[in-house]
Amino acid sequence: MAHKAAYGALFVLLFLSVIFVTVICLLGRDGTTQHESFPFWQRTIVYQVYPRSLCDSAGDGTGDLRGITSQADYLRALGVGTVWLSPVYPSPMADFGYDIADFVGIEPLFGTMADFEELRAALHDRGLKLMMDFVPNHSSDEHEWFVKSKRKEEPYTDYYIWAEPKGFNETGEPIPPNNWLSVFRGSAWTWVEERQQFYYHQFLAKQPDLNYRNERVREEMKNVLRFWLEKGVDGFRVDAITHLFEAEDLSLDEPVASPSGTDDPLDYGYLNHTLTLNQPETFSVVKEWRDVLDLYPDKAMIVEVFGEEIEEVMKYYGNDSVPLADFPFNFLLIEHLRNRSDLTGFALKDTIDMWLDNMPEGKWPNWVLGNHDYGRVGSRFGADAVDALNMLVLLLPGTPVTYNGEEIGMVNTFISWEDTQDPQGCRYGPEHYQEFSRDPERTPMQWDHSPFAGFTQGNSTWLPVNENYKEVNVQAQLQAEESHLKIYKELAALRKEESFTRGHVAYPVVTFEIFSVMRYLEGYESYLLVINTSEGEVEVDLHHHSNVELPPSAVVILRSVTDTSNSTVPGSVVKLSELILVPGEGLLLNLIEEE
Ligand code: GLC
């Protein structure tokens, strides 16, 4: 008998402890339920930090790692769960860190490895993930491998793409092996006297392309991934992946693009890049990286694929038997919608559909509004559209990617030719630099109204601070009753609700001027985001246009800061048959179920 009772008690104890462990696992530290079944890159917003421009702790006018660490509380409070760090590796800064002289070190301008580890710990302590920029296509010409390769020192001789000249011109100058062009304009080949050969560079001459047909190079770069994984990073954003391979036969020319977007034969757009982009071997290398990452739990790989046919982009997801990246960046909102006149309800719907309809079964979408290579959202579409577009990308199904400063609606900064830093701008000269320079979107983060927007305690900054910093800054927006920042934070919190994480999506009203997204899930709240894409005020009867049954009224949850009407103060009830939206407005509504 006593035996039986003891077994019974043991069984009850075991049962209770299983329940206890399960409850603890399901509850996060803050007591909220976590979606343990989702990997982190599906649960979180990815926030891109451009290290030169977030925060300067040293007072030298350039942002650094300690500066970023000092803003860890800001990042947590913002509600973004993943920080992607643009390159912080040792670099001569010809392309501001995308020219790397040591893939496993830290650039002294940004700090030390100890500073990096402190940043990682600060983020992890706050429940944030950290992704590094991985730049596999090229190194700096100051990388030890290239220095040795130039001297034909083994095993580095073939670490880069070297080629014999096609011949010599009348003045005895060597002629490049083919017509391939650099993304940054001009020939992609540079002559090296020492080797009497050309080397290939898809970007600057200071960024020689690595040779991925060399097994040792592949192994070296996998070791780079392993190095950072061992340091505890949570994944990688892979730079310029489409350029990884080029045709093996270097005697072949690329065809002239037709129709051509340019008549400048030195402009990258002059050629059709059939031999230097998206070569089939690329995917096997991405697969090798995937295998490296998968030896560690919950690691992410996002790849940068720009300007390609949608079918090409989608290949980077891989498939069930050969999974590749977790996602290639979705740049369609940048590529298809270049300015405000492109922004219509129909265009938004087409752009969103284009991604979702082409995405392989079971894969995860993502939405990118901007980054360090494209103008600020407020400048491309108008400051009045900032909130609506943040609402859109944060509430659609999938992972949003936010570039630092977009949460406060920073706009492009005018940079004079004298102040221009970006090599892409510099190479086009004083007449045309503004069409190509990426400096305007890279200026220092605007923290407060003190000198240099609180970015530095020093007396200069690497790029000028935007003149509007006294009005557009974090501190002012935290104090204001309604602001871009407050809207962003509310969205970041709201998107954790079931209706957004697992809910369905519908687009009840899509017209030239209006775009709308509905998120709903049986047993949970239903939300409707309505956007006025036009530059004028719009009064709309949603019932008249809707392709689903909508209730008569809804409660306002969030509205763009430009809407100051008494009738749309959050909490107000509005009639869906007579909704008034100011230009560029986003209005997020909670649909009231009919009794
Ligand atoms: C990527 C980066 C860009 C850089 C280029 C070369 O496109 O986003 O900033 O110039 O790669 O590394």
pLDDT score at 30: 36
Question: Which of 48, 84, 85, 95 has most ligand 1 atoms within 8 Å of CB, for mutation?
Answer: 95
Distance (Å, whole) CA 375 – CA 319: 33
Ligand 1 atom 9: residue of nearest CA: 373
* Distance of CA 312 from the midpoint of ligand 1 (Å): 19
| Whole-prediction pTM | 0.93
CA–centroid distance, 208 to ligand 1, in Å, is 13
Q: From start to end of 364-430, where are the E strands?
A: 366-368, 399-403
What integer pLDDT is reported at residue 34 of this predicted model? 45
Please state the atom number of ligand 1 nearest to the C-alpha of residue 137: 12
Ligand 1 mutation target, pool 48, 84, 93, 98, most atoms within 8 A of CB: 98
Give the three-state DSSP class for 567: helix
Look-up: residue for tokens 């990426």?
Answer: 438
What number does the ligand 1 atom closest to the CA of 99 have? 12
**67 alpha carbon to ligand 1 midpoint, in Å?**
23
3-state DSSP call for residue 369?
coil
* Nearest-CA residue for atom 2 of ligand 1: 239
Catalytic hit among 64, 239, 482, 513 = 239
Q: Partners of 276 in the beta sheet?
A: none
Considering the candidates 304, 406, 513, 563, report the single residue annotated as catalytic. Answer: 304
pLDDT tens digits in sequence order for the chain, 595 residues long: 455 555 666 555 555 554 544 444 344 333 334 455 899 999 999 999 999 999 999 999 999 999 999 999 999 999 999 999 999 999 999 999 999 999 999 999 999 999 999 999 999 999 999 999 999 999 999 999 999 999 999 999 999 999 999 999 999 999 999 999 999 999 999 999 999 999 999 999 999 999 999 999 999 999 999 999 999 999 999 999 999 999 999 999 999 998 878 899 999 999 999 999 999 999 999 999 999 999 999 999 999 999 889 999 999 999 988 999 999 999 999 999 999 999 999 999 999 999 999 999 999 999 999 999 999 999 999 999 999 999 999 999 999 999 999 999 999 999 999 999 999 999 899 999 999 999 999 999 999 999 999 999 999 999 999 999 999 999 999 999 999 999 999 999 999 999 999 999 999 999 999 999 999 999 999 999 999 999 999 999 999 999 999 999 999 999 999 999 999 999 999 999 999 999 999 999 999 887 6
CA distance 355 to 481: 36
- Tokens in use for 459? 């007396």
pLDDT of residue 27: 41
Residue 92 and residue 48: Cα distance in Å, rounded? 22
Catalytic status, residue 239: yes
Terminal CA-to-CA distance of the chain, rounded, Å? 58
Between the CA of 442 and the centroid of ligand 1 the distance, in Å, is 13
Q: Which residues surround ligand 1 with Cβ inside 6 Å?
A: 95, 98, 135, 203, 239-240, 304, 372-373
Atom of ligand 1 nearest to the CA of 424: 10
Q: Of 499, 532, 494, 527, which is closest to residue 394 (Cα–Cα)?
A: 494
For ligand 1, atom 6, the nearest C-alpha belongs to 98
In the chain, the largest separation of any two C-alpha atoms, in whole Å, equals 107
d(CA 290, CA 285): 9
- Cis geometry, peptide bond prior to residue 155 (ω within 30 degrees of 0): yes
SS3 of residue 70 by DSSP: helix
- pLDDT (0 to 100) of residue 8: 60
Q: Which two tokens stand for residue 282?
A: 């690329």
Is 304 labeled as catalytic in the residue annotation?
yes
Which atom of ligand 1 is found nearest the CA of 371? 8
Residue type, 466: N
Measure Cα distances from 425 to 61, 183, 200, 346, 467 in Å.
Answer: 21, 12, 21, 34, 21
